[in-house]
Structure 1
Amino acid sequence: MNDFIAARSQMALSLGFHIVFSCIGMVMPFFMAVAHYYWLTTHNVVYRNVTKAWSKGVAIFFATGAVSGTVLSFELGLLWPEFMKHAGPIFGMPFSLEGTAFFIEAIALGFFLYGWERFNPWFHWFTGVIVGVSGLASGILVVAANAWMNSPAGFDFVNGQYLNIDPIAAMFNRAWFSQALHMTIAAFAATGFAVAGIHALMILRGQHIAFHTRSFKIAAIFGCVAALVQPLSGDISAKDVATRQPAKLAAMEAHFETEKSASLIVGGIPDEEAREVKYALRLPGFLSFLAHGNFEAEVTGLDRIAKENHPPVAITHYAFQTMVGMGMIMMGIAAVYLLALFKHKKWLTKSWLFKLFALATPLGFIAVEAGWTVTEVGRQPWIIYNVMRTADAVTPMPGIAYSFYLFTAVYVSLALFVIFMLYRQIKMVGKLYDEEGESFR
């Protein structure tokens, strides 16, 4: 493994782990706040126990997210010094604001965890809401920084110099809204399905039904609504990418030839040498509509883009297909659940419904990982789109492969620690239930 591939692999690994921790960390506080609200308004002790259990989960993911995020910030400087030398002064504002949001989130989480029976109950609830709002703001600000890499703004690039820097314009670049919206909804869908799936499994096992049923319902509603809304943000993102990054869209769809009434490809195996996609289902005109809102519009293919600027087509295409496929499955489950919730209430106690959610537990995060693969791999060979190539930004320091192996061990260990802590937390819920019996209800 050469140093360039090692550096890219290390960033991919770090982002792949961090995105799971951060998504759960910024969404779970909202689940917690809803359960807490029900406790304050109904005085049903189950909601109190759900809130306390989820708050400990929030603390776990806050800690692991902080660790993995700190590592990422160091990696940007160590692995990509040329990038940070020029980009740091331009897109540093969202990172500094993210630090402020993180600071507020940490304080609010401390108040919430230690505020039981010490604060006014509604003020205590409010501190939990602040945890969610500040965590969400933190995530959006980081995405704004990534969006700048896809749509650089806030400077003039003249003779290799970065001049007339405007941090506000850089932060609110053309891509920030579509990326932030898509990522936020994806985080709610992925976390909602993952949490609902775990509680569904506990229900199927017959463990602590009252606790897990109420937990399942809160998480499932969040996840299902997000899954059904996600295609709208996907449409906004697709049209934005078609305008700003035609090479990325062409790679996503393995669209080799520029044409009008372009077909949307479902599945298939791209052959970059033959410039074709084998075994694909084609929907005539739908790619034109997806990209430009017109079934007759022309869609730029890879034939109009210099070969040295082509993203890796196969990886981008497969990742995009995976993201869409997982999203479609989640939409189907969401439609069934909401139908059960409002029309066929008998379904809500059926084991097949809980089995659907249990099986769907990882789907949202598979979609999130695939979506970030599309975002990052689809931008290649650029680290700053059309300004700086990734190969020109990497550190000249040798031995990056060893760093990659070391950080792989760190992140795998961190993941195992999280799994152990969550397993311990679930067992603790069972122990409390067994000790308190009916009072736990």
Structure 2
Amino acid sequence: MQALSLAVHIPLVCFGIAFPAMVLYMEGLHLRTGDPLYRAIAKRWSKVMLILFAVGVVTGTILSFELGLLWPRFMERFAEVFGMAFALEGVSFFVEAIFIAIYVYGWDRLPARAHLLAGVPIVVAGMTGSLMVIGVNGWMNDPGGFELDAAGNVTDVNPFAAFVNSNVWHETVHMYLAGIMVAGFIVAGVYAFGWLRGKRDRFHRAAMVVPLTFACLAAPVQIVVGDWAARTVAEVQPTKLAAIEGLEETTAGADLTIGGILTIPDGLSLLAQHDPDAVITGLDAVPVDERPPVAVVQTAFQTMVGIGTALAVLAAVYLATMVWRRRLPRSAWFYRAVVAAGPLALVALIAGWIVTEVGRQPWIVYRVMRVEEAVTGAGGIPVGYVTLALVYAGLAAIVLFLLRRLARRPLEVETPEEHR
């Protein structure tokens, strides 16, 4: 149930992280150039932003209830450790809700620059809200900020120390870049589909180029951040790294296997420690009952890396063409790839979270609390799962209906005189 809810909610988080910045950038282009087309696109996108935020409220509320209902012992024992982060996430949510309302309904009521500034808190709140949740997840992978007494009770709680853990920084940057890629490629893919159907007007060009540029700038940087993340995991969670690579025995100069086909001698040691002779901890370092399911973790990791590499290649083609030839690529295959890039980026995102969460198993709080200790013992879970799936299917149908209805409306392009 929690995995289903996260899979539904995470794409909405990506749009909360990245999409407001794209909307503001488009409005900023209007203010800089005076071109009413940019304002019309930003205005339409702001309505999409509002729809997705509203659905995110529902899915986020379900997740918050699930924490208490599905993981009662976890919440009872550790809530005071990470409660501060969730409280600040709630503050970010309210700020975002207030300013989204002001922004969407203030298009024709606020001066142009004041309206643009009203969107800035939406961008900031979307990022700080996700930062708080990522901080809690980082703490689950590297718990600190508390002590346990002889009876196992939590004492000497320091919420700030819990939040500032070794995982929070790379997880945050990794998630922000992933959010930009998912939102950027999905939005660009919508207009690339229209481009393939012969809609080559300025509207489709501008609405495709802005999110595609955002995503393509993020894609190559994500590879560098992935290296940072791998080194942190090697230090803090060596068993997770062993599961990622299927490394059974602790090895000096461990090889790196790519796709189960290509083997790079000493590659894993070089990647994790920047030393080809470094010792990499294998699965044999922990008992069998403390090892994560290797097949799931390894498959998810290879899926994430494979898609991420393909998206970086797509980004390189786009950026090189735009910089050196100062035009869009002309091949239809490029636009087909852009259409596919959005769903693929989402698959890579979910695969990455599978690596993060399943790779920590059997622990919910790494080496402190097992999943079996934290999970509810209540019955009726299958009924709840089916009900939840039906709710999410209903939400998806509503979103699809609203977005299609919005897309069919004529673009509200105003002349400069009408805008004044």
CA deviation string 1:327-360 (max 9, x = no partner): 0010000000000110123553443332221122
Task: Note if 1:284 corresponds to 2:265.
Answer: yes
Partner of 1:191: 183
CA deviation string 1:147-189 (max 9, x = no partner): 1111111001222111100011011112111111111111111
- How far apart are residue 436 of structure 1 and its match? 8.8
Where does the alignment leave 5 or more consecutive residues of structure 1 unmatched? Answer: 1-9, 269-279
Q: Distance in 1 between matches of 2:200 and 2:129?
A: 35
Partner of 1:155: 146
Work out whether residues 11 and 182 of structure 2, in 8 Å CA contact, stay in contact via their aligned partners in 1.
no
Task: Note if 1:336 corresponds to 2:302.
Answer: no
Correspondence 1:387-426 to 2 at 5 A: 387-426=368-407
Partner of 2:71: 80
Pick closer, same or farther for the CA change 1:372–1:133 going to 2, 3 Å: same
Q: Residue 302 of structure 2: which of 321, 333, 344 is its match? A: 321
Work out whether residues 347 and 353 of structure 1, in 8 Å CA contact, stay in contact via their aligned partners in 2.
no
Work out whether residues 143 and 176 of structure 1, in 8 Å CA contact, stay in contact via their aligned partners in 2.
yes
Corresponding letter in the other structure for 1:98: E
Work out whether residues 22 and 61 of structure 1, in 8 Å CA contact, stay in contact via their aligned partners in 2.
no
CA deviation string 1:4-34 (max 9, x = no partner): xxxxxx0000001000111112211000000
Partner of 2:41: 50
Partner of 1:228: 220
Task: Note if 1:307 corresponds to 2:305.
Answer: no
Q: Distance in 2 between matches of 1:114 and 1:436?
A: 17
Partner of 1:204: 196
Partner of 1:39: 30
Corresponding letter in the other structure for 2:231: K
TM-score when normalising by structure 1? 0.91
- How far apart are residue 130 of structure 1 and its match? 1.6
Corresponding letter in the other structure for 1:114: Y
Corresponding letter in the other structure for 1:357: V
Partner of 2:348: 367
Where does the alignment leave 5 or more consecutive residues of structure 2 unmatched? Answer: none
Work out whether residues 40 and 411 of structure 2, in 8 Å CA contact, stay in contact via their aligned partners in 1.
no
- How far apart are residue 140 of structure 1 and its match? 1.1
Q: Distance in 2 between matches of 1:320 and 1:172?
A: 26
Pick closer, same or farther for the CA change 1:417–1:140 going to 2, 3 Å: same
Q: Distance in 1 between matches of 2:26 and 2:184?
A: 14
Corresponding letter in the other structure for 1:81: P
- Indicate the SS of the match to 1:311: coil
Count of aligned positions:
416
Correspondence 1:135-284 to 2 at 5 A: 135-159=126-150, 160-207=152-199, 209-268=201-260, 280-284=261-265
Partner of 1:97: 88
CA deviation string 1:341-381 (max 9, x = no partner): 10123553443332221122211111100000101111110
TM-score when normalising by structure 2? 0.96
Partner of 2:275: 294
Work out whether residues 92 and 125 of structure 2, in 8 Å CA contact, stay in contact via their aligned partners in 1.
yes
Q: Distance in 2 between matches of 1:365 and 1:396?
A: 32
Q: Distance in 2 between matches of 1:405 and 1:32?
A: 36
